[in-house]
Amino acid sequence: MIDNTNTNAKLNPAGNLIGRKKIHTDETEVTAKNIAAIVNLAMNSDHASNRNQMEYLFKYERGMQPVLYREKTIRPEIKNVVIENHASEVVDFTVGYQAGNPISLVARSVNVELKHSDKRITKINEMLAEENKQAKDIELFRNFHIAGVAYAMILPKDEQYGTSPFDLLVLDPRNTFIVYSNDAYERPMVAVTYSVLSNGTKRVTAYSDDYIYEFGVGTDGATINKPNIVPNILRMIPIVEFKANDDYAGCFEKAIPLMDAINDINSNRVDDIEQFVQSILWLHNAELSEDAKQELKSGGGILQTKSVGNGADAKVVYLTQTLNQNETQTYVDYLYKQILQICGVPSREKSTGGNTGSAMYLSNGYEQAESRAKTMESMYSRSMLQVVELILRICRLSKNVDSDVKELETRYIDVEFSRDRTYDLASRTNALATLINIGVEPLHAMRTVDLFNDVETVYHDSAERIDKALFESKNEVENLVNVDSTNAGIDVTDSTMGEDETGNGNGNGA
């Protein structure tokens, strides 16, 4: 018998997992007088709850799951722990699918003055590459897909050595939070990041639009010293929040009960096998000598019994009862499919709708994964453009950045994702060509086939070539119609097109 009562509570003192709380304050402005009160109230209430849940989720993804604490009251000596870490599987796929390819900045194509290869944006991308943006994007994605939220911080470099005048940092979401105004605008009022010292106290840095506050917080949650205040030269909070959804929930969070069920079932199955091997010996109307008991324990395998003397026949049998493995496996397979569906992860089964690219894409779940990735794109882009605004502000303050980059504005920049869209390439390119040839506007045709990451840029960069190709194709068709097999000219109107507007011609060439 397995007792998992309060097992989850041992690991997760914050209770049920339904996403993280968004932290608000009733204060309308942040000042030196109320900064400590705002931070302490948030840190000791909503952030404390969020932190406990995030700690649990990070441990769960690494394999510290409730099955480790399972208790067995009957035959407790046979207790196996089997963990199928599907949480890690879901996170690895989601992060790899969404952030495996570089995410870069491009010119916003609606601005006709800029081209896709704008050199100023190229310089910003070079700065980000110097800050290892791709690796830090993966770290950001892992954070918000596990914990539900992630944070990046952009600060001016103390001393510029390369091309980048800023530092791009990924903060631990367990030690970082943003406090928003308690109104319809939900403006970020103050962003807080802290480190826990060896004596248990916290070193806190809080950023508002105008000032930076530094102070200590004791183990009792009270402020230790008066805040040290310096002006915020960026005039903007340098910490940016990233999330994949408005629930602030991790990508595997909603499927945790199913994952726990699979772990329990598989642990019980191993117990069942071991208990079968170590079945209990039942003696009826018989008794064993002490020597026979020792022989049995040592694995001798031969028993000699004697009757208890009441005239009844002696019986010696093993008590065995095993699980129906086929039915159990069917249930495990069902739970696993549900996990993949809830988490938006494609299955690894054969396509049931044929072997074409489209059939496999639809039946195996990649369409659902792509749909979720598109939702994530809008959330990520919103936060990334805040990062871009901070970068441009730092560039304007730097003496080592070209003047043309300083003139760049965030409204000219967009975020480009480069996931692989080449599945079923032949069918989609044929569909694109057909739509354009029958007169559909190329921009709408490109959006329909969903072949390009940045449709508008591809359209604007290709518009002239498309028009030229269509014009040349039309001329070739007209030339073929106006030339017969002997290269002799044919009167198309009279000979091949039937009657004209005046009713002349019989349409058969006669």
- What is the model's pLDDT at position 450? 75
Please, which residues bridge with residue 483 across strands? Answer: 489
Please, which residues bridge with residue 214 across strands? Answer: 205, 228
Q: Please indicate, yes or no, whether residues 334 and 305 belong to a single structural domain of this protein.
A: yes
- Residue 259 amino acid letter: M
User: Quick check: is 403 in a domain?
Assistant: no
User: Quick check: is 407 in a domain?
Assistant: no
The count of structural domains within the chain is: 3
Q: Give the separation between CA 170 and CA 152, rounded to whole angstroms.
A: 5
pTM of the model: 0.77
Nearest to 94 by CA among 362, 376, 453: 376
DSSP secondary structure, 292-344, as one string:
HHHHHHTT------EE-SSSPPPEEEEE-----HHHHHHHHHHHHHHHHHHHT
Give Cα 306 distance to the centre of its chain: 68
User: Quick check: is 379 in a domain?
Assistant: no
Q: Please indicate, yes or no, whether residues 299 and 160 belong to a single structural domain of this protein.
A: no
Q: Please indicate, yes or no, whether residues 204 and 299 belong to a single structural domain of this protein.
A: no
- What is the model's pLDDT at position 474? 62
Nearest to 243 by CA among 377, 352, 411, 105: 377
- What is the model's pLDDT at position 241? 98
Nearest to 262 by CA among 92, 84, 88, 63: 84
Backbone angles phi, psi at 206, to 5 degrees: -120, 135
Give the helix/strand (H/E) hosting 204.
Answer: strand 202-207
Q: Please indicate, yes or no, whether residues 144 and 178 belong to a single structural domain of this protein.
A: yes
Q: Please indicate, yes or no, whether residues 61 and 174 belong to a single structural domain of this protein.
A: yes
Q: Which of 367, 396, 412 is the last residue of a domain?
A: 367
Structural domain that includes position 30: 2-70+122-242
Q: Please indicate, yes or no, whether residues 62 and 131 belong to a single structural domain of this protein.
A: yes
Q: In a 10 Å sphere around its CB, with 0-12 CB exposed, 13-18 middle and 19+ buried, how is residue 470 labelled? A: middle
Q: Please indicate, yes or no, whether residues 36 and 174 belong to a single structural domain of this protein.
A: yes
Q: Please indicate, yes or no, whether residues 336 and 213 belong to a single structural domain of this protein.
A: no
- Beta strands in 220-288, from DSSP E residues, in sequence order: 228-231, 239-242, 280-284, 286-287
Question: How do the pLDDT tens digits run along the chain, 510 residues long?
Answer: 344 444 454 555 445 788 999 999 999 999 999 999 999 999 999 999 999 999 999 999 999 999 999 887 777 777 888 899 999 999 999 999 999 888 988 887 544 454 445 788 889 999 999 999 999 999 999 999 999 999 999 999 988 777 899 999 999 999 999 999 999 999 999 999 999 999 999 999 999 999 999 999 998 888 888 899 999 999 999 999 999 899 999 999 999 999 999 999 988 888 777 665 555 555 555 666 676 666 655 555 555 555 555 656 666 555 455 566 788 888 899 999 999 999 999 987 655 555 555 555 555 678 888 888 988 999 999 999 999 999 999 999 998 898 989 999 998 898 988 776 666 678 888 888 898 888 888 878 887 887 776 676 677 778 888 888 877 766 665 665 555 545 444 444 444 444 444 445 444 444
Please, which residues bridge with residue 69 across strands? Answer: none
Please state, as a whole number, how many other Cβ atoms lie within 10 Å of the Cβ of residue 330.
11
270, 272, 273, 274 alpha-carbon torsion, rounded to 10°: 90
User: Quick check: is 398 in a domain?
Assistant: no
Nearest to 261 by CA among 54, 82, 15: 82
Q: Which of 242, 269, 293 is the last residue of a domain?
A: 242
* DSSP label at residue 349: S
Q: Please indicate, yes or no, whether residues 33 and 134 belong to a single structural domain of this protein.
A: yes
Q: Please indicate, yes or no, whether residues 65 and 160 belong to a single structural domain of this protein.
A: yes
Q: Please indicate, yes or no, whether residues 32 and 161 belong to a single structural domain of this protein.
A: yes
Q: Which of 367, 384, 400 is the last residue of a domain?
A: 367
User: Quick check: is 75 in a domain?
Assistant: no
Nearest to 144 by CA among 11, 20, 258, 14: 20
Q: How far is CA 361 from CA 346, 364, 428, 449, in A?
A: 9, 6, 13, 14
- Residues 283/315, Cβ–Cβ less than 8 Å: yes
Angle at 186 between CA 180 and CA 187, to 5 degrees: 70
Helix, strand or coil for residue 29? coil
Tell me the two tokens of residue 29: 């402005």
The CA radius of gyration of the chain, in Å to the nearest whole number, is 34
User: Quick check: is 78 in a domain?
Assistant: no
- What is the model's pLDDT at position 426? 80
Q: Please indicate, yes or no, whether residues 145 and 211 belong to a single structural domain of this protein.
A: yes
User: Quick check: is 277 in a domain?
Assistant: yes
User: Quick check: is 384 in a domain?
Assistant: no
